[in-house]
Amino acid sequence: MADAPLPHPLGASADDAPLYAPRKQIYPQAVKGRYRTIKWVVLAITLGIYYFLPFIRWERGPNAPDQAILVDLANSRFYFFFIEIWPQEVYYITGLLVLAALTLFLMNAVAGRIWCGYLCPQTVWTDLFYAVERFIEGDRRERMRRDKERLTLPVLGRKVLKHGIWLMIAWWTGGAWVLYFADAPTLVSELATFRASFVAYLWIGILTFTTYTLAGFMREQVCTYMCPWPRIQAALTDEYALNVTYRYDRGEPRGSVKKNDVLKLQGLPAGDCIDCNQCVAVCPTGVDIRKGLQLDCIQCGLCMDACDTVMTKIGRPQGLIAYDTDMNVQARIEGRPEVRRIVRPRTLFYAGLMAVVGLVMIGSLAMRQSLYLSVMHDRNPLYVRLSDGSIRNGFTIRIANKNLDERRYSLSLDGLPEARIDVVGGDLDQQGRPIVTVGPDQTRETRVLVTDTASRAEDSMPLRFVLTDLATGDTASTSDHFKAP
Ligand code: SF4
Ligand code: SF4
């Protein structure tokens, strides 16, 4: 059994975090290092995917759109490269959402809030907005100084430029979003010439506003107060999950370089932390990680870069703040061996579930039918007695042709050998079976009449409608009942 998580000896007290505190403006300082580079790369890749994916083409044939990813609301279709999802196949979307949730759980079990720190859209866009802010208004100290200054023309000019660029990015973000719902090149030209629909402009406006507000103004408050994930994540994590950790066993007692060097020479306790506050200055949420793991910490790793830079400058080993666990810190203090266990029941369980869901989805995609049939019995009247004594039931059938060419289907009955089937408005093939033609990638609803001449004792008899594709011989069937007096 694993040890229970240990309370952090330097942990933030209740006094440090009043329930209703006014927001303190945060001016995160620029930082360079391994994790900052990873974050820039992730930012470039994720934004690149988001902005340019709608322009990628995928050839599907003459009767289907050639956009690789398209949510075609008008025709109720979702296209994802070679996959086309119909409304009745919404379980694929459910499967994708389950996979996404399990991936998040697995990431959390391995390395805490790694999603929040590197991949979450709020983090990515806020990072981009901070980059613009630093480029125009300078780094932390300059921005702090300028915000205290009188509003002069150059200060105002810089602010107008910053907000202008923010709004442009926000507008592009909203613009890219609507491109997933229509043919992207066509919509771009319609938007530019003001011929696009009002709904497109409305959505761009809504997303421009939300991006500008969330990434430009609310920033860390979204992570701290609005997002439910930190609370859920805290309930899902365990003591083995790697988190950005201040190694207080090595850092404390903190003190200046000189003072602690002297103490060390005298054999007295002295840590490596020089209390320079660089880890706090670079933090986008204003957290002092030396107080232990906190809800506000998005695990972005920038404090690790800041501290590594400081340690390099003063000639001490890097990694005073690193991906580690409080359990290991305590183990080192007590002289016990460290425990690093990425492969454990929790991670195996999530990975196993992901594999099962993934395989089920791949299997159902591979065995997916291009033909779908559903039937609905008339509710009123349930049956009609004709003048010759036979009984007739009416049904409405719906056929979905998922092929990209027109198909002809024959419809037959199973279960009532003496019954006749007629399709209202349908043709007959050479064997006298009713034929229904359905256009490419379309559904067709049609009325069907089943007439039975046999006299029966039962008032409800099972029957089966069988639909056969005349080109390929593929079949689809569905069951219902024939009602009699
Ligand atoms: S950056 Fe490192 S040395 Fe400086 S205060 Fe933070 S933990 Fe201590
Ligand atoms: S404490 Fe460190 S890891 Fe956490 S949000 Fe601040 S900079 Fe990022």
pTM summary value: 0.86
pLDDT at 16: 60
Does residue 287 share a domain with residue 156? no
Does residue 405 share a domain with residue 313? no
Q: Which tokens is 381 given?
A: 């009247």
Ligand nearest the Cα of residue 298 is 2
Pocket of ligand 1 (CB under 6 A): 246, 251, 273-279, 290, 306-307, 310, 320-321
As a residue count, the chain comes to 485
Does residue 442 share a domain with residue 324? no
| 286 C-alpha to ligand 1 centroid (Å) | 14
The best mutation among 242, 244, 277, 323 to test binding of ligand 2, ranked by most ligand atoms within 8 Å of the C-beta, falls on 244
343 within domain boundaries: no
CA–CA gap between residue 433 and residue 100 (Å, rounded): 47
Cβ-Cβ contacts under 8 Å for 232 (sequence gap 6 or more): none
Last residue of a domain, one of 184, 199, 233: 233
CA–CA gap between residue 454 and residue 449 (Å, rounded): 16
CB 274, CB 310: distance < 8 Å: yes
Residues of the chain where predicted confidence (pLDDT) is lower than 70: 1-21, 456-457
Does residue 383 share a domain with residue 289? no
CA nearest neighbour of 80 among 51, 58, 49: 58
Q: Is the CB of 301 under 6 A from ligand 2?
A: yes
Does residue 221 share a domain with residue 310? no
Strands 321-324 and 427-428: unpaired
Q: For position 458, which CATH number holds?
A: 2.60.40.10
CA nearest neighbour of 110 among 340, 356, 353, 357: 340
Residue minimizing CA distance to atom 6 of ligand 2: 283
437 within domain boundaries: yes
pLDDT at 299: 95
> Which residues constitute the domain of residue 438?
371-483
pLDDT at 12: 61
165 within domain boundaries: yes
- The domain total for the chain is 3
pLDDT at 470: 92
CA–CA gap between residue 45 and residue 453 (Å, rounded): 68
Does residue 263 share a domain with residue 322? yes
pLDDT at 3: 47
Work out the burial of residue 315: count CB atoms within 10 Å of its CB; fewer than 13 is exposed, 13-18 middle, 19 or more buried. Answer: exposed
Does residue 60 share a domain with residue 37? yes
Nearest ligand 1 atom to the CA of 278 is 1
CA 290 to chain centroid, in Å, comes to: 32
260 within domain boundaries: yes
Last residue of a domain, one of 169, 200, 233: 233
